[in-house]
Structure 1
Amino acid sequence: MAVDTKPAIAAGADGPVRPAGRRSTAAALRGAGLLAALAVLLLVSLLGIWWGTRDIPFTETWRLLWAPDGSQASVIIHEYRIPRTLLGILVGAALGLSGALKQALTRNPLADPGLLGVGLGAATGVVLAIGFFGVVTALGYVWFAFAGAAIASVVVYLLGSAGRSLVTPDRLVVAGAAVTAVLFAFNSAVLLLKPRAFNQFRFWTVGSLAGRQMDVFWVVLPFILVGLVLALALAPSLNALAMGDQMGRALGVNVGRTRAAGMFAVMLLCGAATAAAGPIAFVGLVVPHMARFLVGPDQRWLMAYSAVLAPVLLIASDVLGRVIGAPGEVQVGIVTAFVGAPLFLALCRRRKLVSL
Structure 2
Amino acid sequence: MSDIALSAAMTLARSRHRRLLWLGVAVLVLAGAGVLSVSLGTRDVDWRDIVAGATGTTDTLARAVVAVRVPRTVMAALAGAALGLAGAVMQGVTRNPLADPGILGVNAGAAMAVVIGMAWFGMATLTGYIWAAIAGAALTAAFVYAIGSVGRGGATPLKLALAGTATMVATSSFTTAIILPRNDIAGGVQAWQVGGVGGASFDVIAPCLPFLAVGAALSLMSARSLNLLALGDDAAAALGARVAWARAGAALGAVLLCGAATAACGPLIFVGLVVPHLCRLLVGADYRWLLPFSALLGAALLIGTDVLARLLARPSELDVGIVTAFVGAPVFIWIVRQRRVREL
Q: 1:93-242 counterparts in 2 under 5 A? A: 93-134=81-122, 141-153=129-141, 176=164, 180=168, 182-242=170-230
Per-residue deviation at 1:247? 0.9
Note if contact 2:90-2:100 (Cα within 8 Å) is conserved in structure 1: yes
Aligned to 1:326: 314
Change (3 A) 1:281 1:175: closer
Q: Give CA deviations for 1:145-190 in whole Å, capped at 9, x if unaligned.
A: 344324434555677789xx9x856686677567546533432331
Aligned to 1:44: 33
Identify, as 1 or 2, the structure richer in helix: 2
Aligned to 2:4: 7
Note if contact 2:281-2:340 (Cα within 8 Å) is conserved in structure 1: no
Aligned to 2:326: 338
Change (3 A) 1:133 1:321: same
Change (3 A) 1:133 1:73: farther
Is 1:283 matched up with 2:283?
no
CA distance in 2, matches of 1:216, 1:42: 22
Aligned to 1:255: 243
Gapped runs of 5+ residues in structure 1? 10-17
Per-residue deviation at 1:75? 3.5
Question: Aligned letter for 1:62?
Answer: V
Per-residue deviation at 1:196? 4.2
CA distance in 1, matches of 2:287, 2:259: 21
Q: Secondary structure at the match of 2:318?
A: coil
CA distance in 2, matches of 1:141, 1:222: 14
Note if contact 2:83-2:261 (Cα within 8 Å) is conserved in structure 1: yes
Per-residue deviation at 1:122? 1.5
Q: How does the TM-score come out when normalised to structure 1?
A: 0.85
Note if contact 1:121-1:183 (Cα within 8 Å) is conserved in structure 2: yes
Question: Aligned letter for 2:234?
Answer: Q
Aligned to 1:299: 287
Comparing 299-308 with 73-82, greater Cα deviation is found at 73-82
CA distance in 2, matches of 1:111, 1:273: 17
Aligned to 1:33: 22
CA distance in 2, matches of 1:194, 1:282: 29
Per-residue deviation at 1:325? 1.3
Q: Give CA deviations for 1:126-151 in whole Å, capped at 9, x if unaligned.
A: 31233234557767644443443244
Comparing 174-183 with 81-90, greater Cα deviation is found at 174-183
Note if contact 1:124-1:148 (Cα within 8 Å) is conserved in structure 2: yes
Question: Aligned letter for 1:227?
Answer: G
CA-atom RMSD, angstroms? 3.0
CA distance in 2, matches of 1:241, 1:145: 27
Note if contact 2:102-2:270 (Cα within 8 Å) is conserved in structure 1: no
Change (3 A) 1:336 1:159: closer
Question: Aligned letter for 2:37?
Answer: G
Per-residue deviation at 1:296? 1.2
CA distance in 2, matches of 1:182, 1:341: 22
CA distance in 2, matches of 1:151, 1:237: 23
Per-residue deviation at 1:272? 0.9
Q: Secondary structure at the match of 2:217?
A: helix
Comparing 118-127 with 67-76, greater Cα deviation is found at 67-76
CA distance in 2, matches of 1:265, 1:139: 18
Number of corresponding residues: 342
Q: Give CA deviations for 1:48-102 in whole Å, capped at 9, x if unaligned.
A: 011122332222113323x124842244233211110011111111010011111
CA distance in 1, matches of 2:133, 2:200: 15
CA distance in 2, matches of 1:321, 1:285: 20
Is 1:92 matched up with 2:80?
yes
Aligned to 1:12: none
Note if contact 2:93-2:250 (Cα within 8 Å) is conserved in structure 1: yes
Gapped runs of 5+ residues in structure 2? none
Change (3 A) 1:180 1:52: closer
Q: Secondary structure at the match of 1:19?
A: helix
CA distance in 2, matches of 1:349, 1:307: 24
Change (3 A) 1:346 1:160: closer
Is 1:54 matched up with 2:54?
no
CA distance in 2, matches of 1:205, 1:239: 34
Q: Give CA deviations for 1:292-334 in whole Å, capped at 9, x if unaligned.
A: 1111111111112111111111111111111111111111111
Aligned to 1:14: none
Q: Secondary structure at the match of 1:193?
A: coil
Identity of aligned residues (%): 43
